[in-house]
């Protein structure tokens, strides 16, 4: 008799604990189940929840290591104020007093310089509560300068479309990753792709840096950074040229076929090849792979959703056909349902910020900036005018808090209950694990507090009768007001953190009937290449290594991982480095059109010869590297010689 | 039918399939959490191999590495105090009551598995999650691994899995012949 005995994947903790919380890990939004054990208000043990279908008890390193960030001595736990940057921070030390100061300062600036002098921004694309609150506050204040991260903006604009849930990928025959390093960003979700591979599916990956996802792929291609959507256009062009009767072309959601044909005929192969970094033959191989191995799941990276021509994936996915849920487009950006954040408010919708002046100019003439995350650090290195008032809201010090006068401490996700949406488009409720400490508050409490001080409570529907912010009220408001979730009740979500219930959006369990999404309009011509045109001075491409943690830069505060990727490490291909006489560890300067940064060289074949990559703030899409002591002309000439 | 023998030796063992390892370090983090280790000692480690040039492309693999609980452990032979022992159930552990942290075992081990735990001054090494196994649970690294690169099973289970998977792949592709 054959023994099938397999050890239980595990449940329970033998560590001394007082209570147990079943919740959802909100580090990356695969939505893994998490069971935490607490004693004396601290987490003593945790593991994955095997009842959650998407994760089946697994938990990646982020889901375990976040605990180290919670009690890190470097964390900001009380507000701080200083008159000038560079001075040490002083009081007020209570949240309410700090908010009084914030509201009073904003009011003064608004009265003196007008509401357009105030900029509100966030670079955290998963903080839906902050984004909604910010949009509503900006509308009441009367400022058009609202800069949300590309992920949040695309969440607000997102159409109510279903994605192929990862646990169905076993039925696909091909999974195509385009500038999506899912093995790093959505680790447990990537386990499903490997499961599909075990069942005979092929994995195809295209990216600039050689990623872990690519190392597992059957077929991988190196493309220029941020050219992912152009690859989609190139694939569509090949299909139109060679297989106009295929389902990819016939079923694509084209608004106007004549315009489509005109657009694609106007696309020059030379330009496409130059911008993607691959020739037509290479792209055709990929195209053939996809056609021969349907059903196909296309996984696109977070940044692609913010770049032009992203809608091509919707068109291609519509023709992917195959066995029901096992094909389609799976974007890796926050899967919040479509929502008008200012629903129910008076006033005109704000003009999209792309039509306005660039952020750098706006910041240079602003008098106040209210932001979360590393908004300033990632957007601009400095201001031109005298220091505006900068108020930043976050859990850890970063480049933005260095530029701030007022710093407000925020909670981390384990310290607040909240609504969340997984990448599979599941609607989930993450139960709070432990109490917040110090003077930390949530995004909802920030906006509720400011709204109360301005008398705008009516416009913030999550403020309850006592004036406090209620996450359940926010959840209920959002669920009712998004066409993707209308009909879903918050009470039903209570079980999702601790059981096998899965509720997906678009939710049509109620009488809610979604209108079929509009066909995608075709642009008249290809978007001009962004970035600097003076490529002689900046011969290398630059890619910022993405932040993978919802606990922001707390990755720096997890001692176990700090050694793995040095925060000032600049990855350079060995051939490029040797041509410039650079060894690993050497101090180098990375210069772009926007500024320059110091770092240490880290030779690695993970980057192609024509690119460098670093977790540091971007100084431009094109850069040069310099070794101190060597004349710039000589370096540039060597680089050009190498890259020819 | 083979009679089930009563024996201290379990017939499950830790399967490491590095072709499925994606270098996510979940196993390292889970082990550290389970055994309350400070950052530093990693009883299970993931070693990155590459990227290496492979023709036109690149090749990169991740190799999870942990104590093999060898049949003839070099660490047991090397330990000057007798702290490192191979127990009846084949697991090799270090007795913290005897260990002085001299790290001779770490030098002797061909894989470098025993590491110093700086907060205790003693050796930290994979103990086979003995307490968990006693409760019928799998080792914590296996529990955490998102891709089943690590699994804990009997040889028969493994054979059944491979057969089942091969059969489903064959069945699927035979339709297209």
Task: Tell me if chain B has a CB within 8 Å of the CB of A57.
Answer: yes
Contact between B147 and A190 using a beta-carbon 8 Å cutoff: yes
pLDDT of residue A526: 75
pLDDT of residue A356: 62
Task: Tell me if chain B has a CB within 8 Å of the CB of A171.
Answer: no
pLDDT of residue A535: 67
pLDDT digits (tens, 9 = 90+) for A413-442: 999 999 988 888 888 899 999 999 889 999
Task: Tell me if chain A has a CB within 8 Å of the CB of B11.
Answer: yes
Separation CA A345–CA A477 (nearest Å): 14
**Among B residues 42-101, those touching chain A with beta carbons less than 8 Å apart:** 50-53, 57-62
> Is the preceding omega at residue A596 within 30 degrees of 0, hence cis?
no
Distance between B87 CA and the closest CA of chain A, angstroms: 21
Considering only CB atoms, which chain B residues are within 8 Å of A211?
Answer: none
pLDDT digits (tens, 9 = 90+) for A329-355: 898 876 788 888 888 888 766 555 555
Total residue count of chain A as it appears in this document? 644
Point out the residue among B51, B53, B136 whose CB comes nearest to the CB of A7: B136
Give the helix/strand (H/E) hosting A174: strand A174-178
Task: Tell me if chain A has a CB within 8 Å of the CB of B33.
Answer: yes
pLDDT tens, per residue, chain B with 177 residues: 444 444 455 688 899 999 889 988 889 988 988 888 887 899 999 998 888 888 878 888 999 999 999 999 999 999 999 999 998 878 899 999 999 999 999 999 999 999 999 989 999 999 998 888 887 788 889 988 888 899 998 888 889 988 988 887 787 776 654
Point out the residue among A64, A65, A194 whose CB comes nearest to the CB of B147: A194
Considering only CB atoms, which chain A residues are within 8 Å of B35?
Answer: none
CA end-to-end span of chain A, whole Å?
66
Is the separation of the CB atoms in B100 and B81 below 8 Å?
yes
Considering only CB atoms, which chain B residues are within 8 Å of A7?
Answer: 12, 133, 136-138, 142, 152-153
Nearest residue of A to residue B173, measured between CA atoms: A200
Q: Which residues pair with A465 in a beta bridge?
A: none
Task: Tell me if chain B has a CB within 8 Å of the CB of A47.
Answer: yes
Instruction: List own/partner pairs for A18-21 with CB under 8 A and 24 or more apart.
Output: A21/A431, A21/A432, A21/A433
- Mutation site, A177, A560, A606, interface B, largest B CB count within 10 A: A560
Contact between B143 and A48 using a beta-carbon 8 Å cutoff: yes
DSSP-derived 3-state class of residue A330: strand
Distance between B30 CA and the closest CA of chain A, angstroms: 7
DSSP-derived 3-state class of residue B149: coil
Point out the residue among A7, A215, A560 whose CB comes nearest to the CB of B29: A560
Question: Which range among A276-290, A334-348, A504-518, B157-171 shows the weakest confidence by mean pLDDT?
Answer: A504-518
Nearest residue of B to residue A191, measured between CA atoms: B147
Separation CA B29–CA A63 (nearest Å): 9
Is the separation of the CB atoms in A173 and A295 below 8 Å?
yes
Separation CA A10–CA A230 (nearest Å): 45
Nearest residue of A to residue B142, measured between CA atoms: A9
Considering only CB atoms, which chain B residues are within 8 Å of A195?
Answer: 148
pLDDT of residue A546: 62
pLDDT digits (tens, 9 = 90+) for A530-573: 554 556 788 888 888 765 454 455 455 555 555 556 667 888 99
Mean pLDDT of chain A: 82
Task: Tell me if chain A has a CB within 8 Å of the CB of B164.
Answer: no
Separation CA A590–CA A541 (nearest Å): 11
Token pair recorded at residue A307: 């770049």
Point out the residue among A7, A14, A61 whose CB comes nearest to the CB of B152: A7
CA angle A603, A188, A221 (to 5 degrees): 45
Distance between B123 CA and the closest CA of chain A, angstroms: 18
- For chains A and B, CB pairs below 8 A equal 150
**Among B residues 110-149, those touching chain A with beta carbons less than 8 Å apart:** 131-133, 135-138, 140, 142-148
> Is the preceding omega at residue A295 within 30 degrees of 0, hence cis?
yes
- pLDDT (average), residues A2-30: 71
Separation CA A628–CA A625 (nearest Å): 10
Which of A461, A451, A552 is CA-nearest to residue A102?
A451
Task: Tell me if chain B has a CB within 8 Å of the CB of A606.
Answer: yes
Contact between B22 and A194 using a beta-carbon 8 Å cutoff: yes
Separation CA A400–CA A416 (nearest Å): 24
The answer, yes or no, to whether residue A180 has pLDDT greater than 60, is: yes
pLDDT digits (tens, 9 = 90+) for A217-235: 998 899 998 899 999 999 9
Is the separation of the CB atoms in A69 and A56 below 8 Å?
no
Residue A201 CA, chain-centre distance (Å), reads: 27
**Among A residues 523-562, those touching chain B with beta carbons less than 8 Å apart:** 559-561
Point out the residue among B51, B133, B143 whose CB comes nearest to the CB of A9: B143
pLDDT of residue A499: 59
CA angle A443, A118, A389 (to 5 degrees): 80
Highest mean pLDDT among A156-160, A172-176, A375-379: A172-176
Nearest residue of A to residue B47, measured between CA atoms: A564
pLDDT of residue A557: 56
Contact between A190 and B22 using a beta-carbon 8 Å cutoff: yes
Residues of chain A above pLDDT 70, percent? 85
Of the two residues A208 and B55, the one the predictor is more confident about is: A208
b/e A384-397 (16+ beta carbons within 10 angstroms → b): eeeebbbbbbbbbb
Separation CA A134–CA A122 (nearest Å): 9
**Among B residues 12-31, those touching chain A with beta carbons less than 8 Å apart:** 12, 20, 22-26, 28-30
Contact between A2 and B33 using a beta-carbon 8 Å cutoff: no
Distance between A374 CA and the closest CA of chain B, angstroms: 25
Point out the residue among B23, B51, B137 whose CB comes nearest to the CB of A8: B137
Task: Tell me if chain B has a CB within 8 Å of the CB of A190.
Answer: yes
Considering only CB atoms, which chain B residues are within 8 Å of A277?
Answer: none
Token pair recorded at residue B97: 């009551």
- pLDDT (average), residues A274-292: 91
Nearest residue of A to residue B20, measured between CA atoms: A194
Question: Which range among A53-57, A332-336, A575-579, B74-78 shows the weakest confidence by mean pLDDT?
Answer: A332-336
pLDDT of residue B9: 58
Token pair recorded at residue B170: 């064959």
- pLDDT (average), residues A513-519: 56
Considering only CB atoms, which chain A residues are within 8 Å of B157?
Answer: 3-6
Is the separation of the CB atoms in A166 and A192 below 8 Å?
yes
Is the separation of the CB atoms in A568 and A585 below 8 Å?
no
pLDDT of residue A349: 65
b/e A94-122 (16+ beta carbons within 10 angstroms → b): ebeebbebbbebbeebbeeeebbbbbbbb
DSSP-derived 3-state class of residue A577: helix
Separation CA A2–CA A5 (nearest Å): 9
Task: Could you list the beta-strand ranges (E) of A508-614.
Answer: 540-544, 569-572, 587-591, 596-603, 611-614
Of the two residues A66 and A547, the one the predictor is more confident about is: A66
pLDDT of residue A29: 84
Residues of chain A above pLDDT 90, percent? 27
Separation CA A319–CA A340 (nearest Å): 29
Residue appearing with tokens 């060894």: A583
Task: Tell me if chain B has a CB within 8 Å of the CB of A209.
Answer: no
Provide the whole-model pTM: 0.87
Point out the residue among A8, A59, A216 whose CB comes nearest to the CB of B26: A59
Separation CA A524–CA A596 (nearest Å): 36
Task: Tell me if chain B has a CB within 8 Å of the CB of A291.
Answer: no
């Amino acid at each position: 008799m054959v023994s099938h005995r397999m050890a239980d994947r595990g449940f329970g903790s033998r560590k001394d604990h007082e209570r147990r919380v079943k919740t959802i890990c909100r580090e990356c939004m695969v939505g893994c189940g998490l069971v935490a054990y607490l004693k004396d208000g601290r987490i003593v043990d945790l593991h994955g929840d095997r009842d959650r279908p998407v994760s089946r008890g697994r938990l990646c390193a982020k889901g375990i290591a976040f605990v180290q960030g919670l009690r890190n001595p470097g964390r900001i736990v009380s507000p701080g104020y200083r008159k000038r940057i560079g001075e040490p921070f002083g009081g007020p030390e209570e949240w309410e007093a700090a908010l009084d100061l914030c509201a009073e300062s904003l009011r003064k600036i608004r009265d003196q310089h007008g509401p357009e002098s105030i900029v509100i921004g966030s670079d955290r694309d998963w903080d839906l509560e902050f984004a909604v609150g910010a949009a509503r506050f900006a509308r009441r204040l009367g400022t058009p300068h609202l800069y949300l991260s590309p992920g949040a903006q695309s969440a607000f604009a997102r159409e109510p479309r279903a994605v192929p849930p990862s646990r169905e990928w076993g039925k696909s025959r091909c999974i195509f990753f385009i500038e999506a390093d899912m093995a790093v960003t959505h680790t447990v979700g990537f386990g499903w792709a490997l499961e599909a591979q075990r069942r005979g599916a092929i994995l195809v990956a295209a990216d600039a840096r050689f990623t872990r996802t690519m190392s597992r792929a059957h077929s991988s291609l190196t493309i220029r950074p941020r050219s992912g959507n152009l690859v989609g256009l190139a694939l569509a062009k090949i299909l139109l040229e060679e297989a106009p009767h295929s389902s990819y072309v016939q079923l694509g959601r084209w608004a106007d076929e004549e315009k489509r044909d005109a657009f694609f005929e106007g696309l020059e192969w030379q330009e496409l090849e130059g911008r993607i970094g691959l020739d037509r033959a290479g792209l055709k191989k990929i195209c053939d792979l996809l056609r021969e191995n349907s059903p196909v799941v296309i996984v696109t990276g977070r940044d692609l959703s913010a770049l032009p021509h992203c809608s091509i994936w919707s068109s291609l996915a519509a023709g992917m056909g195959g066995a029901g849920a096992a094909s389609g487009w799976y974007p890796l950006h926050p899967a919040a349902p479509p929502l008008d954040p200012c629903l129910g408010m008076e006033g005109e919708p704000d003009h999209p910020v792309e039509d306005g002046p660039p952020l750098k100019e706006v910041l240079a003439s602003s008098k106040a900036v209210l932001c979360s995350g590393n908004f300033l650090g990632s957007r601009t290195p400095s201001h031109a005018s005298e220091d505006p008032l900068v108020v930043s809201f976050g859990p850890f010090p970063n480049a933005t808090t260095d530029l701030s006068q007022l710093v407000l401490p925020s909670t981390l996700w384990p310290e607040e209950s909240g609504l969340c949406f997984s990448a599979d488009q599941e609607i989930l409720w993450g139960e709070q694990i432990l109490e917040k400490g110090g003077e930390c508050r949530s995004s909802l409490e920030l906006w509720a507090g400011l709204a109360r001080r301005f008398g705008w409570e009516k416009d913030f529907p999550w403020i309850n009768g006592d004036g406090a912010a209620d996450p359940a009220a926010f959840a209920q408001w959002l669920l009712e007001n998004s066409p993707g979730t209308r009909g879903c009740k918050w009470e039903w979500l209570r079980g999702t953190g601790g059981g096998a219930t899965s509720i997906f959006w678009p939710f049509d369990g109620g009488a809610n009937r979604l209108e079929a999404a509009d066909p995608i309009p075709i642009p008249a011509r290809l978007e001009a290449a962004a970035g600097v045109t003076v490529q002689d001075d900046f011969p290398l491409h630059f890619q910022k290594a993405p932040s993978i943690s919802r606990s922001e830069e707390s990755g720096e505060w997890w001692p176990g991982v700090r050694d793995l990727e040095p925060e000032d490490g600049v990855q350079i291909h060995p051939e490029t480095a040797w041509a410039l006489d650079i060894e690993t560890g050497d101090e180098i300067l990375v210069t772009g059109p926007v500024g320059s940064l110091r770092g240490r060289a880290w030779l690695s074949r993970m980057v192609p010869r024509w690119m460098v990559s670093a977790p540091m703030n971007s100084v431009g899409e094109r850069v040069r590297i310099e070794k101190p002591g060597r004349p710039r002309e000589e370096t540039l000439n060597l680089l050009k010689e190498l890259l020819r | 039918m083979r009679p089930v023998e009563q024996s201290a030796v379990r017939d499950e063992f830790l399967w490491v399939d590095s072709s499925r390892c994606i270098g996510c370090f979940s196993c390292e983090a889970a082990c550290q959490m389970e055994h309350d280790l400070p950052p530093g000692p990693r009883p299970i480690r993931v070693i990155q191999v590459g990227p290496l040039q492979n023709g036109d492309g690149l090749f990169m693999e991740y190799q999870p590495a942990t104590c093999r609980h060898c049949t003839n452990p070099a660490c047991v032979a090397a330990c000057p105090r007798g702290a490192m022992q191979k127990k009846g159930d084949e697991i090799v552990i270090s007795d913290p009551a005897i260990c002085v942290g001299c790290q001779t075992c770490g030098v002797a081990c061909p894989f470098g598995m025993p590491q110093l735990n700086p907060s205790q001054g003693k050796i930290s090494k994979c103990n086979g999650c003995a307490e968990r196994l006693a409760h019928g649970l799998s080792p914590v690294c296996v529990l955490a691994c998102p891709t089943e690169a690590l699994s804990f099973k009997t040889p028969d289970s493994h054979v059944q899995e491979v057969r089942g998977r091969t059969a489903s792949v064959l069945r699927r592709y035979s339709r297209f012949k």
